[in-house]
Structure 1
Amino acid sequence: DDEGFSGLVIHMAIVGIEWKEEGDHVVATVGAGESWDDLVATAVAKNYSGIENLSSIPGTVGASAVQNIGAYGVEARELITMVEAYDAKNNILKILTNEECVFGYRESVFKTNQDLVVTQVQFRLEKEYVPKQAYKDIALYIEENGVVTLSLQEMRQAVMAIRAKKFPDLSQCGTAGSFFKNPIVSKGVGEKFLAQYPDAPHYDAENGKTKLSAAWIIDHVLEMKGVREGSVGTWSAQALVVVNYDDATSAQVKKFVKKISDASFEKIHITLEPEVVFVVT
C-alpha cells in the first residue's frame, strides 16, 4: 500500500545449517533466515544434489517452504521432509511433515494459515547426482554450448546464466520476480487453447489437468511483453516479470497487472492469478 504498513514487521534471522549423511542421501536442517541461494551454493560445493536447478532465486530458506518455490523442473516440496514453525496463536513450536505442509503449486499451509511462522526447514539431498535437464531453457543452453550432460556445478552455472539473461538487476529496478502463476486448467480448456495456439508450451498437471505458460500467454497472445505504462511494465526479456522502473505507486502496479489479467480473460477466458502476495493493513 502506498500509505505504508501499519503493523509490526519481524525480519526472520534464524540461521545455521546442519548436515547429516544418511546412507545415499544427506539431510540438511536449515534456519529459516538463511539465504536460499547461499544454501544452494553450499550444497553444490559439497557435491550434494537436488536443489541446483533452484539456483539464483532470491529470498530466504523459510520463504522456499511458504511459497513452494520452483524453477526449471524442480519444486521445493520434492525435497522438503520437515518444517518447524512457530504457532503464534497458540504460542508453541510445531513440527510439520511434508504432507502436513499441504504443498501445491506456489502454495502451502503457511500461506493459508498465517499464524504459522517458519523457523526451520529440513531437506533431503542426494549424494548421487542425476541431472534434470529436460526443461526447455536448460535443453537450449546445452545445445548452444555443445555439451551432452551438465555436471552438478555446470548445472548451477547454467541456471545462473539463464536467469541473469531473463531477470532484471535488482539493484537497478524493483521487481517481485515472476508476478503471475502459470494457469492450471481443465483438460477441455487446455485442448481448446492449444487448438487455437498449437505452439504454446504446456505440461501435464495433477488430476488430468494442463499447466500453461503465463509468460507465453502474456508475450504471444496478449503481446504485452516489454510493455510499459509510466514507471511500471513487463520486463523486455521475460514477460512474466513486472518491473517498477522508477517511482510507480502500488495503485499503478495493481492497475497495470489487472489490465493484463483482464485482457487474458477477455481474449482466451483464462484467468492469470498473481503469484505475488499483496500485504494490506
Structure 2
Amino acid sequence: MMTPEYPEPILLDANPSVAVRYEYGNIQLKLQTQIFDGNPTAYRFSVFNQSDSISPLISKIFFPDDTITVILPVDFFQIEDLGYVAILVPQGDDFEIVKNYFTIEQTGVFEFPIAYIRRKPVILVGNVSQRIGKIPIVGAIVQMFDSTGVVGNSKTNTSGQFEIELRFPFKDRKDLHLTISTGGRYSRWRDRIDFQGEKWLNKSVVLGPSALFISQGMVYRVIQNETPFREGPENGSPIKFFLSEGDIFVAETVAGDQLFGQIEILIEKNGYLQHFEGWIKNKYLKYIQ
C-alpha cells in the first residue's frame, strides 16, 4: 500500500507561519516605606494603566506593620499597554502621594524605590517689587523665622518671585515672621506671617519710596543701621526714630553737617504712607538724586 502524497498547502490571506507564546508565572510587586514626618494609619496601594488614571487595575489597603506586597499573574499585564503607575496613598493625615511609573518585561520580583512618607509641605509664595513702576526686585533675600531662628530661605528670581517650602507643621503657628533684605538698596522689610490653618499663602511685598515723596527734594539713602533721626540739629536733640540702612531721606535744607527733611513710613495697620520731618547728620547719608 502506498502512502498518498499531498502538495504543499497554500495559505490564502495569511502568514505562512504563526507563533503563539505562552507564559506562566507570577509578578511580585514590593514596596518599602520610610517615615520622615507624621504617623500614617494605613496605606492604599493601587496600580493603574498609564492610559487610565481613573480606574485602578488593583487596589489594596495595608496597615503600617504590613509588608506592601502584591502578587499578580503575568498575564495581568498586557503587552500592548504603554506602561503602568503604582500609587501609594498614606492615610490618616495630609500626606504626599508617592508614584512609581514602570513596565513589566518578565516574571519575578519587581521592587520599587523606597517610598519616603511625609506630610505635604506648607508653602509660601510671593513677589517683591519696587513701589515706583512696580518693577520686580531681583535677588532679594527672603527668610522666614520662628521663635528659634530661620526656618526657611529663598531668593527672588528675575520676575521678583519667591517660594518657601516648610516641611514641618507650621500652618497653625502664630510665631512666624518674614523678612526681605536687598543688600542696602531698600530698608529691611519685616512682617508677621499667619497661614490661618492653610497650607498655601501668597504674599506680595512692595518696597521703596513713592514717586510723590522723592519729588519733594534731594534724595539720599541711609547707609548705616540705627541712624538717629532727631527733632533738631543741635547735639542732644530728642531722637524721633532710629533709621535703618536703605531707608530713603528727602532733604529740604542743609545746615553744616546736618540735613533737614523727611522720611516716609508705611503704616501697616491701614496701608498709608506717612511722612515725618527731622534732622540727620550728613555722614549717615549717600546722595542718590
Tell me whether the two structures share a fold, i.e. TM-score over 0.5.
Answer: no
The structure with more helix, counted as a fraction of residues? 1
TM-score, with length taken from structure 1:
0.24
Q: Specify the structure having the higher radius of gyration (Cα).
A: 2
The structure with more strand, counted as a fraction of residues? 2
Higher relative contact order (CA 8 A, sep 6+): 1
